[in-house]
Amino acid sequence: MTTEAEVILTARDVHRTFGGVRAVDVDHFEIRRGSIVALIGPNGAGKTTFFNLLTGFEKADGGSWTFEGQELAGKHAYAIAQAGMVRTFQSARVFPRLTVTDNVRLGAQHQKGEQLWRAPFAGAWRSQDQQLAVRAAELVDWVGLGAKAGDFAGTLSGGQRKLLELARSVMSSPSLLMLDEPMAGVNPALRQALLDKISELPGEGITVLFVEHDMDVVSAVSDRVVCMAEGTIIASGTAGEVAADERVIEAYLGGSSGDLRDHDRNAAPDAAPHEDVPVHDETADPVTGRPEPGPRDLHAGDPPAGDEPAGGATT
Ligand SMILES: Nc1ncnc2c1ncn2[C@@H]1O[C@H](COP(=O)(O)OP(=O)(O)O)[C@@H](O)[C@H]1O
Ligand SMILES: [Mg+2]
């Protein structure tokens, strides 16, 4: 039995239909603080929609969810991100005409309170700007993009964008980070690096919920696995328990998605038009759905030629 303090997110009766199709119908879902939870399920199971609902990128038809003791149903994506619940997208979203470091710096705009300024590394003599720059540089290095720090994000491969998006979301000091298929489109050489970073997050005070299909990956990093099919949660437990669950096997075999183990391995992110487009604004901020910020004090400069390779390209 989990106590309230141990649970960071509790959702009840969260549901949404699209033209009669029950995309999400989740009775009960909770995440323990400090854990890594994997969300699996065949294509079309409702995983992305569930993310969209919880983070305010789409409106639920009903239900409630409490995050850090705060009721978030009906709140705008911006307010939810500010509360510390931050998500990434199935196709990594970056500002292609900003440098890698500036992309990461922008993540700090949405952090709650003034935590960053009180962080231990922050000497009182430093300006907030300097502190942001230092933190952004640290995170760029942390995801292994140090050599690309000054490059335009538009020049990065799909896998590198995933790493950038991770750094950017960590910059916002989330308490819950929701990663939608962080491994999709990432080449094998980068996958292990990304996995290692994800497993370090709880040590930084960040609870993780991530969507992934590869059961080897899921087993390697998650404390608990939850499986969705046709909008509902059909199983949860350890990776071993869920992989052996009859309903889970049936859900994967019954759909067009094929084998659980090989499902979507190395596949590019789904390109279904509804997938990642927030309902609010197509030029929205990748983290919160807010309109894309202008360069402000950042040095946007001219984009390089051949900007914006196809999202999700294999690295
Ligand atoms: N904006 C939308 N409009 C219409 N149908 C949608 C929309 N978003 C999701 N769906 C449908 O809801 C179901 C769940 O989709 P999705 O959440 O993307 O699944 P998953 O991420 O598990 O692959 C699918 O049948 C999908 O076609
Ligand atoms: Mg999805």
Distance separating alpha carbons of residues 173 and 117, to the nearest angstrom: 11
CA of 235 to the centre of ligand 1 (A): 20
Domain ranges in the chain are 14-94+175-312
- For 293, list phi and psi in degrees, rounded to 5: -75, 155
Residue the block writes with tokens 């300024």:
117
d(C-alpha 97, C-alpha 79), whole Å:
26
Q: Which atom of ligand 1 is the closest one to the Cα of 45? A: 22
> CB count, 10 Å around CB of 140?
26
Predicted confidence at residue 48, as pLDDT, reads 96
The answer to whether 150 and 101 are in contact (CB under 8 A) is yes
pLDDT per 10-residue tile (average), the chain, 315 residues: 80 97 97 97 96 96 96 95 92 92 87 49 63 93 95 94 93 95 84 90 96 89 96 97 95 65 44 38 51 40 35 36
What is the model's pLDDT at position 240? 94
Whether 304 contacts 84, CB under 8 Å: no
What integer pLDDT is reported at residue 119 of this predicted model?
Answer: 54
At residue 109, the pLDDT reads 67
Name residues whose C-beta falls within 8 Å of residue 282's C-beta, 6 or more positions apart in sequence: none
pTM confidence score: 0.80
Distance CA 79, CA 295 (A): 23
Q: Which residues lie with the beta carbon below 6 Å from any ligand 1 atom? A: 18, 21, 23, 41, 43-49, 274-275
Give the distance (Å) from ligand 1 centre to CA of residue 49. 6
**Looking at residue 3, what is its pLDDT?**
66
Measure the CA angle with vertex 191, ends 188 and 193; round to 5°: 125
Regarding the domain with residue range 14-94+175-312, which homologous superfamily does it belong to in the CATH classification? P-loop containing nucleotide triphosphate hydrolases (3.40.50.300)
Q: Tell me, in angstroms, the distance from the centre of ligand 2 to residue 47's CA.
A: 5
- Closest-lying ligand 1 atom to the alpha carbon of residue 24: 14
CB 11, CB 26: distance < 8 Å: yes
Which residue has the least CA distance to atom 26 on ligand 1?
44
Q: How far is the CA of 46 from the centre of ligand 1 (A)?
A: 6
In this prediction, residue 103 carries a pLDDT of 96
Q: Position 214: which residue type? A: D
Ligand nearest to the CA of 91: 2
**What pLDDT, on the 0 to 100 scale, is given for residue 247?**
95
